[in-house]
Structure 1
Amino acid sequence: MFQLLQHFEAYFRRKSRPANSVGYHVYTREFDVVIDAHKLDSVLGRLPPDQEAAHAEAWTTFSCALEGWRTKVHLTALEATARIRAAVDTQDLAETAISILVDQSGSMRGQSMLLLAAACDIAQNFLVHLGVTTEVLGFTTVRWKGGESRRLWRRRGSRPFPGRLCDLLHIVYRSAEDRRASTGRRFKPMLRPDLPKENVDGDGEAIEWAVGRLMQAPARRRTLVILSDGVPADDSTLMANREDFLDRHLRDVIARIESTGDIKLVGVGIGFDTSTYYRTSSMISSVDDLGLSLIATLEEAIRGT
């Protein structure tokens, strides 16, 4: 644990280097937001009537129209629970913490986000009933096209190589301190049609944020599962920096965390091969398979297979 914290201290010291440095840096954190999901209205505003109607329809589908899909995943979770309880001591389960980090980029909008929310809902119940400390987190940006960060950069003269140039939005759907069983409502905000935007946080900052939270959990075994459908991308950032700026940072963050061995990272690609980034990874060819694949990934993480 101390080794990992030392790595992060060194990382943030490197972030203070001059803006023309080739290393990763951030233009400003002034407009970044970390928020509980049920408070998203305070950041994104209330949905206009047409989007509110779309949100209500998505919630109805989430609550009522996925019965066959949910039943299949629930049965798989029950079978996995029996295998885990037969193989893993109850005390080991109590000393395990798992965080699920969800890509909420624009490409995940619609059916993908609907099934992702349903899969996370089933997965969290699966983990909580096993006695595993559980978090579910999301990442995107507050605004398109760099938002307030880019506007500030332009007002100040648009200096070259500004670093990350957008407003991050990190969302807590379930915190590790919350031990309640889910009614599913904590994932209703995930279905907002105005939520998915850029995938900039695939660049590593979301992983660092999730890891920092996971390190606070009272656990001996920690795993972070990252669900994503693509490489890190943010037009505002990439147009003002080197084209590999975000990709290199993602690889650097992953390598640094994996080298400590304190937290196991598992990359799950949705139509995207994550094996070039993570030592432990899997790929889901169809979003319809997300629920079954997520339960299988979590079982492997818990059993250490």
Structure 2
Amino acid sequence: MFGDLSSVILGLKRRFIGPERDAGSYRVFTTAFDEVLGKDELSALNKAMPSDQKRSFQEANQRFDTLFMAERVEISAAGAALVRELRQGLTEENRLETVVSFLIDHSGSMRGLRMMAAVLAVEGAVDALAHAGVTTEILGFTTASWRGGKSRKAWRWAGRPRNPGRLCDLRHIVYGEAERIDSRPWQLRMALRQDLLHENIDGEALAWAAGRLDRQAWSRRVICLVSDGCPVDDSTLHANEDRSLLAQHLEETERRLAAEGYTIATLVIGDEVTPRSALFERAVEPEAAGLGLIRLLHRALLTTGDGLN
């Protein structure tokens, strides 16, 4: 670890020599410690889980499987109605040229019922779209640790330059790839692991999700952000004068992607966030989350003129 940090620090010191930067536009201190977890990495992480965390994870899975039977019925019924409407309202070619990416916030505040609501909603939506012949992708985003991780250590050892920008190690997660449709990838249940949930940098996660969707393969690209609030990373916010830089970057990213032809829809689980666009739903419990996500998909796929301005 120290070898990696030393090489990064040398490069950062050269980069930051000269006048200190102002609060300015969005920037990233270093991407050297960012990571993407795919199927193999998730499998290894699952095997390496300590016994106490494994018991907690198993209990969370059991609760998830037994607590929401009635909610699943209602969400499934709404999903079946969406399938009928998609088959009637879109040609088979339209559906084959459409991809929907579900991007799930893995912040610490999503622990417990909120994450269960998110997983329940996404599973129901993915099942419905699979029956309609629409390709889906399932992603998650968080940070690799609390308090900035290796990025913050590198910043401290580089002399703590002012306004470093994003100051944490991103962790992006691929639960199900768009190229290989799997209606319910087993890895998604790992979102119920409390030890995976840390901070959330929504703007960069949204840009990452968009970059995975090839416009040559799909003429219609929809991203559903499932979150419980605004982006937050204490390490970043404490080291920068502009405490709104993460929220502003999210809004700027949404506008840019909308201008590039993406449809951005947001499901907020909680009541902390002001709607940023017409494609917005709010829920405070699992059934409402599932039904809200189905409504969002109906509007995103079957209604025009409902995106960001």
Same fold (TM over 0.5): yes
C-alpha displacement of 1:117: 1.4
Aligned to 2:171: 169
C-alpha displacement of 1:287: 4.1
Aligned to 1:246: 246
Q: Deviations over 1:59-100 (max 9, x none)?
A: 122334422221221111112211221222111111111111
Aligned to 2:11: none
Distance 1:257 1:298, change over 3 A: same
The letter of the residue matching 2:189 is K
> Are the aligned partners of 2:118 and 2:269 in contact in 1 as well (CA < 8 Å)?
no
Aligned to 1:85: 87
CA distance in 2, matches of 1:267, 1:148: 31
> Are the aligned partners of 1:138 and 1:171 in contact in 2 as well (CA < 8 Å)?
yes
The letter of the residue matching 2:188 is F
Distance 1:234 1:121, change over 3 A: same
C-alpha displacement of 1:286: 3.4
> Are the aligned partners of 1:38 and 1:186 in contact in 2 as well (CA < 8 Å)?
no
CA distance in 2, matches of 1:224, 1:172: 14
Q: Deviations over 1:8-43 (max 9, x none)?
A: xxxxxxxx9987151111111111011115523656
Distance 1:190 1:216, change over 3 A: farther
Distance 1:106 1:227, change over 3 A: same
CA distance in 2, matches of 1:36, 1:300: 30
Alignment of 1:150 onto 2:158: no
| Residues matched between the structures, number | 286
The letter of the residue matching 1:69 is E
Task: Give structure 1 stretches of 5+ with no counterpart.
Answer: 1-15
Task: Give structure 2 stretches of 5+ with no counterpart.
Answer: 1-14, 305-309
Aligned to 1:32: 34
The letter of the residue matching 1:300 is R
C-alpha displacement of 1:46: 2.4
CA distance in 2, matches of 1:251, 1:239: 21
CA distance in 1, matches of 2:73, 2:169: 38
Distance 1:217 1:136, change over 3 A: farther
Runs of 4+ with deviation above 4 angstroms: 16-19, 41-45, 273-276
Aligned to 1:300: 299
Aligned to 1:4: none
Aligned to 2:188: 187
Alignment of 1:213 onto 2:212: yes
CA distance in 2, matches of 1:61, 1:37: 24
The letter of the residue matching 2:128 is F
> Are the aligned partners of 1:106 and 1:196 in contact in 2 as well (CA < 8 Å)?
yes
Aligned to 1:12: none
- Deviation larger for 140-149 or 266-275: 266-275
Distance 1:120 1:38, change over 3 A: farther
Distance 1:133 1:274, change over 3 A: farther
CA distance in 2, matches of 1:43, 1:248: 33
Aligned to 1:269: 268
C-alpha displacement of 1:129: 1.6
| TM-score (ref. length: structure 2) | 0.85
C-alpha displacement of 1:144: 0.2
CA distance in 2, matches of 1:152, 1:295: 43
> Are the aligned partners of 1:87 and 1:303 in contact in 2 as well (CA < 8 Å)?
yes
Of all paired residues, the percent bearing the same amino acid is 36
Q: Report SS of the residue matched to 1:218.
A: coil
CA distance in 2, matches of 1:234, 1:217: 35
CA distance in 2, matches of 1:278, 1:143: 31
C-alpha displacement of 1:279: 4.6
Q: Report SS of the residue matched to 1:230.
A: coil
C-alpha displacement of 1:263: 0.6
The letter of the residue matching 2:169 is D
C-alpha displacement of 1:253: 1.4
Q: Deviations over 1:200-247 (max 9, x none)?
A: x12x10010011012356111111111111111111000011211212
| TM-score (ref. length: structure 1) | 0.86
- Deviation larger for 268-277 or 57-66: 268-277
CA distance in 2, matches of 1:43, 1:185: 14
Alignment of 1:197 onto 2:195: no
Report the RMSD for the aligned CA atoms in angstroms. 2.2
> Are the aligned partners of 1:274 and 1:282 in contact in 2 as well (CA < 8 Å)?
no
Q: Report SS of the residue matched to 1:98.
A: strand
